[in-house]
Amino acid sequence: MKVLVIGSGGREHCLVWKISKSPLVEKIYAVPGNSGIGEIAECIDIKTTKNDFNELLKFAEDKKIDLTVVGPEAPLVEGIVDCFYKKDLRIFGPFKQAASMEGSKVFARELLSKYDIPIPEGVIFKKENYSEALDYIKKRTRFPVVIKADGLAAGKGVVIAIDRDQAIEAIKDCFMLNKFGNSGDRIIIEEYLTGYEVSILSLCDGKKIIPMDPAQDYKRIFDNDEGKNTGGMGSYSPVPMLKEEVYNRILNEIIFPTYSALANENIIYRGILYAGVLICGDKPYLLEYNCRFGDPETQVVLPRLAEDLVPLLMECADGNLSRQKLDWDKNKCVCVVAASEGYPESSSSGDIITGLDHFKGSDDIIVFHAGTKIQNGKIVTSGGRVLGVVSRADSFKEVREKIYSAMDRIKFRGMQYRKDIALKAERSE
């Protein structure tokens, strides 16, 4: 069969890598792909915005694609699945209405509130109520507070404001400076809860939902969770600090009720439903839902999946998942992200990356490309998050040693990465 993967990041490289291991697959295309994906799939230079959906449809029809897998959130929120579905083309991902779970934090909050699913307390403000939002912050006595832009913001639309001044600045960024465009026309000012976060990706076929093994990611740019929020600087799976009884609470109080709520609202949800959950004490709270595979969580979850991914994706797309649970390797998996100079405020492009040849073809150290391209025959940087370096081992201590030894071999100008990924997990062993 022929598979098309849409996207150009580390998540998509991981998807292509996992899909390539399926005996069912004879050919993989990636749109637009990247230099790493190009080593195992044919990359096609088609844009993935809404205006380009017809060209993507034509490509899928001409090449007789059997399954399309959508990586990034923007095409899903813009309705690419609806377009493919109308043409009777099999595609993995949620319909446009269902993708509103990520496309609008206000939509998700209102749905979750209606069905009493635990979320942090919060208030919604519209752009035209800018002065009311400022008054609310000026009267507030408890900080930090969380400011969330309603729409898509490339993982950077959430600000944890330490004090009143930072909160006012975040509101101005959305309402006055239009930092996030239309995505910032509505905001949520939310209670800040302390605890630890876990990510749970679930496969959905419209009727059934199957959770995958949990992962934990690292949002802040610097060690010890300091600095600004990013799209993710690393991750690991499984999560040893997550007790079984708390995991069961997440499923029974958040994820399963959410899926039932969607069904009650006549919203068919297929694809991946990705929950970001905060554990406060032993009580879980839903922080956000995403409508696609997480990045970099995918890079540590899929390498541990001990079965063929392709039939699972096809069954979800067709609405007939045939199993109740998934098989998982017992190993520990860690991903460390190498980012370019200036990230997350800016990014550097065109810097030559060296050291990748050490790991070519390796299944022990896997380098997933995120922001890379070929320039004058060399692999160079082309974005904020450049690479995700992944390994597996029997213990977190062993896998961390392998990962950070590998990081020492990879070089590019201004390269930055966290040194504490999975450190707490190692100390818990």
pLDDT digits (tens, 9 = 90+) for 306-337: 999 999 999 999 999 998 899 999 999 999 99
**Could you tell me the fold of the domain covering 332-427?**
Glycinamide Ribonucleotide Synthetase; Chain A, domain 4 (3.90.600)
| Domain boundaries along the sequence of the chain | 2-78, 122-191, 196-318, 332-427
Q: Which of 61-65, 164-168, 228-232, 404-408 has the lowest mean pLDDT?
A: 228-232
**Residues 412/348, Cβ–Cβ less than 8 Å:** no
pLDDT of residue 154: 75
For residue 38, give Cα distances in angstroms to 81, 163, 296, 381.
24, 46, 20, 15
| Strand ranges (E), 117-195 | 122-126, 145-149, 158-161, 186-191
Confidence at 354, pLDDT banded by 50, 70, 90: very high
Confidence at 155, pLDDT banded by 50, 70, 90: confident
Beta-ladder partners of 375 = 378
pLDDT of residue 324: 86
Domain 122-191 is in which class?
alpha beta
Degrees to nearest 5, angle at CA 70 with 64 and 76: 120
Confidence at 60, pLDDT banded by 50, 70, 90: very high
Confidence at 363, pLDDT banded by 50, 70, 90: confident
Confidence at 70, pLDDT banded by 50, 70, 90: very high
Q: How many CB atoms lie within 10 A of CB 397?
A: 16
- Mean of pLDDT values over 296-314: 98
pLDDT of residue 152: 93
Tokens 């959305």 found at: 174
Confidence at 429, pLDDT banded by 50, 70, 90: confident
pLDDT of residue 239: 98
Beta-ladder partners of 39 = none
Q: Which two tokens stand for residue 170?
A: 């975040």
pLDDT over threshold 80, residue 156: no
CA dihedral 398, 404, 409, 414 (to 10 degrees): 170
User: In the structure, how many helices (H) and strands (E) does the chain have?
Assistant: 14, 23
DSSP state of 215: B
Confidence at 423, pLDDT banded by 50, 70, 90: very high
**What backbone torsions phi and psi does residue 377 show, to the nearest 5 degrees?**
80, 0
- Mean of pLDDT values over 173-202: 96
Q: Which CATH superfamily hosts domain 196-318?
A: ATP-grasp fold, B domain (3.30.470.20)
pLDDT over threshold 90, residue 136: yes
- Mean of pLDDT values over 26-52: 96
pLDDT over threshold 80, residue 133: yes
Same CATH fold assignment for domains 122-191 and 332-427: no
pLDDT over threshold 90, residue 203: yes
Spatial CB neighbours of 312, under 8 Å, sequence gap ≥ 6: 203, 321, 326
Confidence at 346, pLDDT banded by 50, 70, 90: confident
pLDDT of residue 31: 98
**Could you tell me the fold of the domain covering 2-78?**
Rossmann fold (3.40.50)
Q: Name the region of 88 (left: φ>0; alpha: ψ -120 to 50; beta: rest).
A: left
Q: What is the pLDDT of residues 270-289, one digit of tens each?
A: 999 999 999 999 999 999 99
Percent of the chain with pLDDT over 90: 94
pLDDT over threshold 80, residue 88: yes
